[in-house]
Structure 1
Amino acid sequence: MASNEECILVTGGSGFVGTQCIIHCLTAGYRVKTTVRSLDRKESVLRTLQAAGAPKPESVSFVEADLTKDDGWKEAVQDCSYVLHVASPFPTEAPKHENDLIIPARDGTLRVLRAARDAGVKRVVITSSFAAMGHGHRNRDPTKPFTEEDWTDVNGPGVGAYEKSKTLAERAAWDFIEKEGGSLELSVVNPVSIMGPVLGSDTSTSIEVAIRMLNGAVPGCPNIEFGIVDVRDVADLHLLAMTHPKAKGERFLCMAPPAMSIKDMALTFHERLGPKARKVPTRTIPNFVLRFLGLFDSGIALVVPFLGESRPGSNEKARTLLGWNPRSNADAVTASAESLIQLGLVKV
């Protein structure tokens, strides 16, 4: 149990990962501050924390701060020992201009780091992404697992605005620490697609896949395979990266291998949910059909670059260095589905 004297700032506390990080920090005995873009979100976050059974949710303090503005960040980091910088833009469709994503992600990260350095924060943990590791690689052996040594080539084939934004933001963070960070320490967590239990209507783009499948809103399964990790394990790795001495100056690929295909997810839903999965399709949609549909649907266009590709990854570093032990991806996607059904966010 942590000392109650230590305070953690969690940025983006209303988000899917941010809320779970708050719960984990409270459970570990820390005091928690969180940023929201508008204090109008405070009551809904508190209700979510209470419903999830978080200890002392009323003790969480809220600061209004936006990644695109300087206002609020000095107040947010004041008296904090650590910062979990979780907040980041994540699109549900491709943006019209890539800088609409890149600039807020990069400049917002630097804003948080500067404020943390100036306030004497010990360590910042940044939520980056597998998107900063696993894309744009030419002539790579498809069977070789990605690790923390890998970086996305922002000029490589099939690299979109989101991948660029996460890569450039993380690169900027490491450069800042090296050149201007002073005594501030940095660790980075790079999750794959985040599933697991939904606590409210604020979900992730990954959860949208499960919602559309359970609602029968998709005619079949795209030929896509991706890494999965449970949101509770993402939060757990953030806390390990925050306090573990060996996490200083390290990045950690956050996933529960092996990767999972959309069809595997569909079959898992049928196996574990029974009749509640009756709308979930199990037939595969041909690649050429999705490429055609992607011309008219920007949401579909986001997945077209990943058709037929495999991106295996290794979580060995997090497991061996920090003792992290994630749930299986089948457990993670089942938890997503069960919580969506329980909250009435899908009609089965």
Structure 2
Amino acid sequence: MASKRLVLITGINGYIAAHTAAVFLKAGYTVRGTVRARTANVETLVRSLGKFHDGNGLELVEVPDISANGAFDHAVEGVQAIAHLASPVSMTETDPAPMMRAAVQGTTSLLTSALGEARKETRKGSLKSVVFVSSMSAIFSPSRPAGHVFTEADWNEAAEEEMRRLGKNTPGYVIYQASKVAAERAYWEFGRETRADFAMTALCPGLVLGPPLYLPKPISSLSMRVKDVYDIFHGGHIPEFAPIRTTFADVRDVAELVFRAVERDIERPGARERYLLTAPPPISPQGIADALRDSFPERRDIIREGNPGETYPDMTFRFDSSKAASLLGRDWIGFQRSVVDSAGAFLDAEIA
């Protein structure tokens, strides 16, 4: 790999994006990251990433509104690869329109800028890869028949149908799922319609856990599932069972797969790939409490016991992530390690 390739990471201060930036910096890339504004959390991230480069490996570009036309025109200049991780997230919104618009237009705005950069005569063909981090929510649907094995061929059509039925009374989690479906569909449609020369890859991880690279303030802004670990570690309730909570990917594996996809795609112009990312079971909310109580016995008076070893309703759904496992090239980071490492990051931050 040639040194100092330039990769753009959108929403670099996000949970997965921060880890992704660290992976690219360690590999010798120059990283350009987009942020909405230079907040205190962004400055904390910059300090956290400082140990992975020599002082010249990271630059930031402010993009206040990712859905605006031309929002990424400056950010994409001269890049060889793009990892798109910026995405709106809200579990309290009940009107689908704003979130759907931001998710879809944020994706198409970036791709439009990317295509313009790729076709500039002065840099024609220099952009080789665009990797879009989608979600298991774009694949998994409980409406599938018993015994269904989810693969990259599946789409969550139920969320979109539910949103259309409920309109402005749609629960936030349904809007989130539908926005992931719509944004990824827009991504692939753009590639088909424009016949873009750069490679395009979508990664669809299950619920993402693992140690944050930095702890945001307020702590309530932690990524949703790692916030579950934080809450349970600090005496909070154990979340109820849900089918999608039986899927999981460690944030470090997701970041590594973004990097591996870019490295592969740079050598395969025009390639199109989709990957389902989920580590092997068993995975459950109760399992978070069990792992924490086992690994931190001194906190057993804080961490709720729940029903140790509780088994959940027999899941007939299965997930085939063998394609992503092949790209990763090593064993997935396991659920217990991910939970315990997350808690360790919380403790380190509280002691510092």
Aligned to 2:230: 211
Contact 2:202 2:274 in 1 (8 A): yes
Q: Structure 2: which amino acid aligns with 1:22?
A: A
Q: Structure 1 332/57 Cα, relative in aligned 2: closer, same or farther at 3 Å?
A: farther
Q: Report the more deviating stretch, 236-245 or 160-169.
A: 236-245
User: CA shift at 1:199, angstroms?
Assistant: 2.3
Aligned to 1:201: 215
Aligned to 1:300: none
Q: Report the more deviating stretch, 310-319 or 2-11.
A: 310-319
In 1, the alpha carbon distance for the partners of 2:257 and 2:16 equals 12
In 2, the alpha carbon distance for the partners of 1:236 and 1:85 equals 14
Q: Does 1:123 align with 2:159?
A: no
Extract unaligned runs of 5+ from structure 2: 119-126, 164-172, 217-221
TM-score by length of 1: 0.84
Q: Structure 1 112/324 Cα, relative in aligned 2: closer, same or farther at 3 Å?
A: farther
Q: Secondary structure at the match of 2:73?
A: helix
Query: How big is each residue's C-alpha offset from its partner over 1:301-333, in whole Å with a ceiling of 9 and x where there is no partner?
Result: xxxxxx968454222011235525321111111
In 2, the alpha carbon distance for the partners of 1:181 and 1:282 equals 54
In 2, the alpha carbon distance for the partners of 1:344 and 1:277 equals 18
Q: Structure 1 146/278 Cα, relative in aligned 2: closer, same or farther at 3 Å?
A: farther
Q: Does 1:281 align with 2:304?
A: yes
Contact 1:46 1:57 in 2 (8 A): no
In 2, the alpha carbon distance for the partners of 1:238 and 1:277 equals 37
Q: Structure 1: which amino acid aligns with 2:89?
A: F
User: CA shift at 1:212, angstroms?
Assistant: 1.4
Q: Structure 2: which amino acid aligns with 1:110?
A: T
Query: How big is each residue's C-alpha offset from its partner over 1:24-54, in whole Å with a ceiling of 9 and x where there is no partner?
Result: 001111111010001345422211213xx32
Q: Does 1:192 align with 2:206?
A: yes
Aligned to 1:149: 153
User: CA shift at 1:90, angstroms?
Assistant: 2.0
Query: How big is each residue's C-alpha offset from its partner over 1:69-125, in whole Å with a ceiling of 9 and x where there is no partner?
Result: 23541110000000000111122x331211222111111011111111111121100
Residue identity over aligned pairs, in percent, reads 25
Contact 1:228 1:259 in 2 (8 A): no
Q: CA RMSD in A?
A: 2.4
User: CA shift at 1:185, angstroms?
Assistant: 1.9
The one of 215, 218, 222 aligned to 2:240: 222
Q: Report the more deviating stretch, 308-317 or 203-212.
A: 308-317
Aligned to 1:298: none
The one of 191, 194, 215 aligned to 1:177: 191
User: CA shift at 1:22, angstroms?
Assistant: 0.7
Q: Structure 1: which amino acid aligns with 2:289?
A: A
Contact 1:259 1:312 in 2 (8 A): no
Aligned to 1:304: none
Q: Structure 2: which amino acid aligns with 1:250?
A: E
User: CA shift at 1:182, angstroms?
Assistant: 2.5
Q: Structure 1 282/313 Cα, relative in aligned 2: closer, same or farther at 3 Å?
A: farther
In 2, the alpha carbon distance for the partners of 1:273 and 1:58 equals 40
The one of 110, 113, 121 aligned to 2:111: 113
Q: Secondary structure at the match of 1:33?
A: strand
TM-score by length of 2: 0.83
User: CA shift at 1:7, angstroms?
Assistant: 0.4
Q: Structure 1 327/98 Cα, relative in aligned 2: closer, same or farther at 3 Å?
A: same
The one of 279, 282, 291 aligned to 1:268: 291
